[in-house]
């Protein structure tokens, strides 16, 4: 994000550098320019701001934390306070080309309903989540007898907002149940970079720290 | 100038006065064709060559057009939003042409019930037609037309000002590029109507109100209007804010006096609020303007489907509410935001944490200013304003 040494008062220097978190970049790469995008759980607007600036999307955001909403709106991004479980119902069918849910599915109360809402309001849904099938998660449970914790999931089980963990295979199973088409899928390592494994293979579920799917009805 | 302007016997207030509705009258919601009438307004900054940088600021119930003046001509204090409007400020008058007009029915220069009814030669009093928020906005459009401005870059306002913002967006969506309805609602709640009714009854119960004809009688319903203001003022604050400011502290005395004197600081404060209000506001205007707010319900023309009021709107919205505001709650702002979402509008909706109640929108609230500033800057970039 902003270089702390940049003089933000100088008009010659752009306010935003166009580098974003690696996993968000992978999502951004899936989005066609000039489209309508809803980013659900948009946090401080890193992805939404990037898409607005570089891909000229008509972007909107929904964010649970007041602080996140404030920071987004203060950057000029159209974001409102809301919750994926409760507040998607107002958006009309097909209002967006993409409905993005990044690292938020596992924190929703009803992931299946949320996913079907994403595909109602967006022609395509882009969903990423931490993979509990990753070998380290399996290791934590099997050999340490502890709930998995890692740099991406640092919060203790009793404090985490994440309540619906799944593995890549679990997620694919849900998509199959719902008749949802998987357009693209990939797995990412701990730093969010793409892992070059066939995302349909069992290795993906073992070595992928996070998973990223593009879905359609 | 028309005979309607400056009918006020006292010295005219500073600022611009425009006489409107001389040929095309103002058609009020009540069916009355009204005019000619005067709108008093202030402007700050310069209108650019393509007239694309105009911001209309709409004032609240007891506000006025002196939004950013250094010295208010009556109170001698700062303009009510001087914190936000001015050179280099969030609503930057070096960059934007800011217009703020006194609402029709008001008492600071725009035609209202204290002015002379040309048919009788006497003050209008209760013969003044009932005004709605839509009427206020229609009168504003006539002013904006007369200033030669087609589309406003932004319409911004809090409380009743926010109602006007929403009315602009509903009725003239193509003329509003960006809209900031702040601490407001798409309709006045039963609780708010109830408090307004208490205020109006206080005014009318004052014998000096004289059935609305106090000007003819040479009187002023000062006690009634002061009580109305005291009640209303409580609703603009919050329990924690009142407690923080006054607690149970006594006013210039060591002990309670076992009397009905103003023992508590909060009593003294309220009496002062009531008294100073009476010096600057007309009692009948207070009746008319509170009524306009009570009648406001943007969803009424759409069988309660608020989203239909904004269908197809290209306006960018930024809705702001304050956590301790119990006049215009965050829940109501969210209802509005949901309706805008359902209409596929471009909407931001932010709740600012504050314990200062409804009045927070007038006060130094850095988070609010940061949000509004970001919204305006972002919209200006898209509008191509330098």
Boundaries of every domain in chain A: 22-216
Q: Could you say which of B316, B334, B371 has the minimum Cβ distance to residue A74?
A: B371
Residue of B233, B224, B235, B237 whose CA lies nearest to B287: B224
A72-91 burial: b if 16+ Cβ within 10 Å, else e: bbbbbbbbbbbbbbebbebb
pLDDT at B147: 97
Give the per-residue pLDDT at A34: 97
Which of 1.10.1740.110, 1.10.540.10, 3.40.640.10, 3.50.50.60 is the CATH number of B192-291?
Answer: 1.10.1740.110
What is the full DSSP assignment across A81-143? E--TTTSSTTSPTT-EEEEEEES-GGG-S-HHHHHHHHHHHEEEEEEEEEBTTSHHHHHIIII
> pLDDT by residue (tens digit) across B57-81?
999 999 999 999 999 999 999 999 9
CA pair distance B107, B40, nearest whole angstrom:
10
CB-neighbour burial class of residue A176 (10 A; exposed 0-12, middle 13-18, buried 19+):
exposed
pLDDT higher than threshold 80 for residue B4:
no
pLDDT for B321-356, tens place per residue? 999 999 999 999 999 999 999 999 999 999 999 999
Instruction: Write out the two tokens for A85.
Output: 């479980």
What local confidence, expressed as pLDDT, does residue A16 receive? Answer: 54
Contact A80 B374 (CB under 8 A): no
Residue B24 CA to residue B206 CA, distance in Å, equals 38
Active-site residue, selected from the candidate residues B159, B185, B285, B354: B159
Average pLDDT over residues B107-119: 97
Give the residue among B221, B195, B172 at the shortest CA–CA distance from B293: B195
The CB-side HSE value for B359 (13 A sphere, CA atoms) comes to 15
Q: CA-to-CA distance for A37 and A28, rounded, in angstroms?
A: 11
Length of chain B: 386
- Report the first-to-last Cα separation within chain A, whole angstroms: 35
Determine whether the interchain pair B348/A72 forms a contact, defined as Cβ–Cβ distance below 8 Å.
Answer: yes
Q: What residue of A is the nearest CA neighbor of B379?
A: A76
CB B52, CB B154: distance < 8 Å:
no
pLDDT confidence of residue B105: 98
By DSSP bridging, strand A181-188 and strand A210-216 are antiparallel
End-to-end CA distance of chain B: 37
Annotated catalytic residue B272: no
Please, how many CA atoms are within 13 Å of residue B5, restricted to the half-sphere of its CB?
A: 16
Flag if B371 and A92 touch (Cβ within 8 Å). no
What number of other Cβ atoms are within 10 A of residue B69's Cβ? Answer: 21
pLDDT at residue number A17: 59
Q: How far apart are CA B37 and CA B21, in angstroms?
A: 6
A76 vs B381: CB contact, 8 Å cut-off?
Answer: yes
CB-based burial of residue B133 (10 Å sphere; 0-12 exposed, 13-18 middle, 19+ buried)? buried
Instruction: Please identify which residue in the block is written with the tokens 């002990």.
Output: B255
Question: A18-73: per-residue pLDDT in tens?
Answer: 788 888 999 999 999 999 999 999 999 999 999 999 999 999 999 999 899 999 99
Which fold would CATH assign to domain A22-216?
Rossmann fold (3.40.50)
Residues 6 or more apart in contact with residue B245 via CB below 8 angstroms: B266, B269
Q: Are strands B122-123 and B116-117 parallel, antiparallel or unpaired?
A: antiparallel
Distances from the Cα of B356 to the Cαs of B83, B184, B274, B329, B360, in angstroms?
Answer: 16, 15, 19, 13, 5
| Separation between Cα atoms, residue B89 and residue B91, nearest integer Å | 5
pLDDT at residue B106 in the model: 98
Rounded to whole angstroms, what are the CA distances from B59 to A142, A182, B68, B77, B162? 65, 53, 12, 16, 8
Percent of chain B with pLDDT over 90: 96
Give the lowest-confidence range in A128-142, B37-51, B183-197, B363-377.
A128-142
For residue B175, name the pLDDT band (cuts at 50, 70, 90).
Answer: very high
pLDDT at position B133 over 80: yes
Q: Mapping DSSP to helix (H, G, I), strand (E, B) and coil, where does residue B279 land?
A: helix
Model confidence at B11, in pLDDT bands (50, 70, 90)?
low
Mean pLDDT (chain B) is: 95
Of A151-165, B83-97, B160-174, B221-235, where does mean pLDDT reach its minimum?
A151-165
What b/e readout covers B178-203, taking b as 16+ CB neighbours within 10 angstroms?
bbbbbbbbbbbeeebeebbeebbebb
Residue B35 confidence (pLDDT): 94
What pLDDT shows up at residue A150?
Answer: 78
- Residue A204's pLDDT is 84
- Tens of pLDDT along chain A (217 residues)? 333 333 333 333 344 557 888 889 999 999 999 999 999 999 999 999 999 999 999 999 999 998 999 999 999 999 999 999 999 999 999 999 999 999 999 999 999 999 999 999 999 999 999 998 888 888 888 999 988 887 777 888 888 888 898 999 999 999 999 999 999 999 988 888 888 777 777 888 888 889 999 999 9
Residues 64-103 in A contacting B (C-alpha not used; CB under 8 Å): 66, 69-70, 72-81, 87, 90-92, 95
A178 close to A113: Cβ distance less than 8 angstroms: no
Note whether A78 contacts B348, CB cutoff 8 Å.
Answer: yes
**CA-to-CA distance for B252 and A183, rounded, in angstroms?**
75
Does position B134 have pLDDT exceeding 60, yes or no?
A: yes
Residue B182 structure tokens: 């702040």
Q: What is the DSSP string of B226-237?
A: HHHHHHHHHHHS
The hierarchical CATH code for the domain B16-189+297-383 is: 3.40.50.1820
Distances in whole angstroms, Cα of residue B243 to Cα of each of A26, A54, B67, B356: 52, 50, 29, 11
The lowest-confidence range among A208-212, B147-151, B213-217 is A208-212
Above 0.90 for ipTM, yes or no? no
**Extents of the domains making up chain B:** 16-189+297-383, 192-291
pLDDT of B7 > 60? The answer is: no
What whole-number distance in Å separates Cα of residue B9 and Cα of residue B19?
17
Three-state secondary-structure class, residue B298? coil
Both structure tokens of A185: 């899928």
Which residue in this structure is represented by tokens 């995302």?
A: A199
Picking from B333, B371, B376, the residue whose alpha carbon sits closest to that of residue B163 is: B333
Mean pLDDT of B212-239: 97
The reply to whether residue B377 touches residue A79, judged by beta carbons under 8 angstroms, is no
Please, is B116 exposed, middle or buried when counting C-beta atoms within 10 Å of its C-beta (0-12, 13-18, 19+)?
middle
What pLDDT shows up at residue B107?
97
What angle is formed at CA A117 by the lines to CA A114 and CA A122, rounded to 5 degrees? 125
- The phi and psi torsions of B78 (rounded to 5 degrees) equal -65, 150
Residue A2: the pLDDT is 35
DSSP states of B119-161 as a string? TTTEE-GGGSPP--HHHHHHHHHHHHHHTT--SEEEEEEETHH
Higher pLDDT, B270 or A8: B270
Q: Are B229 and B278 in contact (CB under 8 A)?
A: yes
Is B94 tagged catalytic?
A: no
B279 to chain A, any CB pair closer than 8 A? The answer is no
List B residues 347-386 in contact with A (Cβ-Cβ < 8 A): 347-353, 367, 370-371, 373-375, 377-379, 381
Higher pLDDT among residues A136 and B45, named by residue: B45
Q: What is the structure's pLDDT at A148?
A: 85
């Amino acid at each position: 994000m902003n270089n702390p040494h940049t003089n933000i008062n100088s008009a010659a220097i752009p306010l935003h550098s166009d580098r974003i978190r690696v996993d968000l970049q992978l999502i951004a790469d899936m989005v066609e320019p000039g489209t309508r995008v809803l980013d659900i759980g948009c946090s401080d607007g890193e992805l939404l701001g990037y898409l607005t600036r570089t891909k000229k999307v008509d972007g909107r955001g929904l964010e649970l934390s007041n602080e996140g909403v404030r920071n987004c709106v203060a950057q000029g991004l159209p974001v409102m306070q809301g919750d994926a479980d409760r507040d998607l119902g107002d958006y009309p069918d097909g209002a967006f080309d993409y409905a993005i849910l990044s690292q938020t599915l596992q924190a929703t109360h009803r992931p299946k309903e949320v996913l079907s809402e994403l595909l109602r309001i967006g022609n395509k849904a882009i969903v990423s989540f931490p993979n509990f099938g990753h070998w380290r998660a399996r290791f934590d449970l099997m050999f340490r007898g502890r709930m998995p914790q890692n740099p991406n999931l640092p919060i203790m089980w009793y404090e985490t907002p994440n309540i619906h963990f799944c593995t890549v295979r679990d997620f694919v199973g849900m998509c199959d149940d719902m008749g949802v088409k998987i357009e693209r899928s990939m797995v990412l390592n701990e730093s969010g970079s793409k892992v070059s494994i066939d995302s349909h293979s069992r290795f993906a579920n073992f070595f992928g720290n996070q998973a990223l799917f593009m879905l359609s009805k | 100038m028309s005979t309607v302007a400056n009918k006020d016997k006292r010295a005219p207030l500073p600022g611009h006065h425009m006489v409107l509705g001389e040929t095309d009258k103002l058609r009020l919601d009540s069916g009355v064709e009204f005019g000619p009438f005067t709108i008093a307004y202030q402007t700050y900054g310069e209108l650019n060559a393509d007239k694309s940088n105009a911001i209309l600021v709409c004032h609240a119930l007891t506000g006025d057009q002196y939004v950013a003046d250094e010295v208010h001509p009556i109170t001698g204090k700062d303009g009510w939003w001087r914190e936000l409007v001015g050179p280099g400020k969030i609503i930057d008058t070096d960059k934007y042409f800011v217009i703020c007009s006194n609402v029709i029915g008001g008492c600071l220069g725009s035609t209202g019930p204290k002015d002379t009814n040309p048919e009788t030669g006497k003050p209008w009093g209760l013969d003044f037609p009932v005004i709605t928020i839509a009427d206020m906005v229609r009168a504003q459009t006539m002013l904006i037309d007369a200033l030669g401005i087609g589309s406003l870059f932004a319409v911004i306002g809090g409380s009743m000002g926010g109602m006007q913002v929403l009315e602009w967006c509903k009725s003239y969506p193509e003329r509003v590029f960006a809209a900031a309805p702040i601490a407001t609602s798409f309709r006045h709640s039963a609780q708010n109507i109830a408090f307004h009714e208490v205020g109006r009854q206080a005014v009318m119960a004052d014998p000096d109100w004289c059935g609305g004809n106090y000007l003819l009688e040479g009187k002023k319903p000062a006690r009634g209007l002061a009580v109305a203001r005291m009640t209303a003022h409580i609703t603009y604050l919050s329990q924690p804010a009142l407690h923080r400011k006054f607690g149970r502290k006594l006013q210039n005395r060591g002990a309670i006096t076992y009397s009905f004197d103003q023992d508590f600081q909060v009593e003294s404060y309220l009496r002062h609020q009531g008294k100073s209000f009476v010096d600057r506001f007309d009692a009948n205007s207070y009746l008319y303007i509170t009524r306009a707010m009570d009648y406001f319900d943007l969803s009424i023309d759409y069988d309660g489907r608020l989203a239909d009021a904004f269908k197809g709107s290209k306006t960018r919205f930024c809705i702001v509410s304050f956590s301790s505001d119990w006049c215009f709650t965050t829940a109501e702002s969210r209802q509005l935001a949901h309706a805008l979402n359902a209409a596929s509008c471009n909407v931001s909706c932010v709740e600012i944490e504050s314990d200062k109640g409804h009045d927070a929108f007038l006060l130094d609230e850095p988070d609010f200013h940061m949000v509004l500033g970001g919204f305006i800057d972002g919209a200006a970039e898209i509008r191509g304003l330098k």
